Structure 1
């Protein structure tokens, strides 16, 4: 990213990052409330589920701190020095945290697919988890590259293919999991009573909403990344993408 860009259009760079961080902090508040309600409403739930909720919340806290630090650094520490805004080290570290959150959430839903579907379809869950794990490894690698990069333009040019691939893979996993659950619920609906069918209809609606929300957001981020690499709109969207995954987990 050229230094001149920041002096010409702060709205699509620092301004976009600030707006993205506001969404991120707002969603973190919702995630925190969801976690509290979960522990308050289901104190007898399995310890593994409790640990999962706690792990995701702790990661989200670190994610939010990283985003907030970078926005403060860009807006306050480097105020009046837009030419020095060439790297975002903290947001580079956030990539790894985001990858870990996505792995936990997609792993949870992959396990659900594995448990509810019969053979051989249950192995769809194994396939999705394997893809998610590979995606997380790629996110960690991108973190090291983001910290080492001299500027955002260099990072975009060298690793555009990998960032795009990870976003596509993440979207594909969400769609596969959602379609698998919809197929399972559709099968159960056809065999259930009216009351059960009503509950299943609600579950189907929830599955569509959660799967579509993360998928559409990832696709929008990818489009911005590919078509507008010289601003920070894509990075602003990335700051709250992981929180959509956490929200879908806590809503499950």
Structure 2
């Protein structure tokens, strides 16, 4: 490096990107731990769900590799070559692809959970609310692909920031809008399933809290990225926040999956109707209320089954979390003692 070469100030650009990569790696570790706990704690989940979880984790981890590569290339490989700081390395552009796939997968998962909610509450309005986030998810996915294809042909970093700025803004706006739409829709559905049981309503309140918090986290990250992009038009500062969003999406999905045991324990009890958000209705029984029902069986009106272990804790086989049927009523001993339909393990 010649003595006349001026070293640029990297605090507001690559320094921010470095901080984003470090925080992203930390959250990636948390997500990987949740991924491990999921496969350890829910071995009876369907192969489709397990494949989906593995698929999402792989893409999330790929982006972590890409952003780690780009920060290493800029700050280590070209440490004595500051002129290359304006060169758009391939990983800077293509890290958008795994983030796009991860975001679409997680948002699609929550949208599918809305679609598979209790059939009794479906309506044309529900279908419209599902179609809208699907359109947002599809639009963001298409723009993410376009960003990678267009950006791949641009080697000047500064020019890429300006040329791809409208697409980048649209990506974050669509992500935030989809997150808010999905969260609000789920809250409306859950709110309409209240019952006369305090325990059931407490579980509903917990589900609504989970929904709001997970939607707020991801939507907040996308909105923060959008605001920084608008306020600092010619800066890559927003990348530090953007690097974290994919990890947040994956962690929120894993938190929802791994919270099922806790929700099942809250739902445990005699004589009330429960409905999982991705299966049919389940009626819980105790061995004292129904001597014909063994400790490892329960009645289900649908394709999904599970077990009640020795501690009387229900474990779902392949569902996400629980909601409660609106207007559920306690059943008498006579109705409980009707011969149940035992369901084998699936």
TM over 0.5: yes
Residue 157 of structure 1 is matched in structure 2 by 162
Structure 1 SS opposite 2:164: helix
Give the deviation of 1:239 after TM superposition: 1.1
Q: Which residue of 1 aligns with 2:177?
A: 172
Query: Cα deviation per residue 1:6-63 (whole Å; 9 max; x = unaligned)?
Result: 9332111221111000011111101100110000000000111101110011111211
Q: 1:119 aligns with which of 108, 119, 123?
A: 123
- For residues 123-151 of structure 1, the C-alpha deviation after alignment (integer angstroms, 9 at most, x for no partner) is 22233123212211110110122221132
* TM-score normalised per structure 1: 0.93
Structure with max Cα Rg: 2
Q: TM-score by structure 2 length?
A: 0.68
Tell whether the 8 Å contact from 2:161 to 2:236 is kept in structure 1 after alignment.
no
Q: Name the residue aligned to 1:109.
A: 110
Q: What is the CA deviation profile of residues 39-96 of structure 1, one whole-angstrom value per residue up to 9, with x for unaligned ones?
A: 0000000111101110011111211110111111111100032221121320211101
1:1-252 to 2 correspondences below 5 Å: 7-86=7-86, 87-116=88-117, 118-123=122-127, 124-189=129-194, 191-252=195-256
The number of residue pairs the alignment matches comes to: 246
Q: Which residue of 1 aligns with 2:344?
A: none
Q: Please state how far the C-alpha of 1:210 moved relative to its aligned partner.
A: 0.5
- Cα–Cα, structure 1 residues 179 and 105, in superposed 2: closer, same or farther, change >3 Å? same
Query: Once the 2 structures are TM-superposed, how far is the Cα of residue 192 of structure 1 from its aligned partner?
Result: 4.2
SS at match of 2:235: coil
Structure 2 contact 8–82 (Cα < 8 Å) conserved: no
| Greater RCO structure (CA 8 Å; 6+ sep) | 1
Ranges of 4+ aligned residues in structure 1 off by more than 3 Å: none
Structure 2 unaligned segments of length 5 or more: list them: 1-5, 257-346
Structure 2 counterpart SS, 1:49: helix
Contact persistence 1:112–1:125 (CA under 8 A): no
SS at match of 2:251: helix
Structure (1 or 2) with the greater strand fraction: 2
Q: Which shifted more, 199-208 or 144-153?
A: 144-153
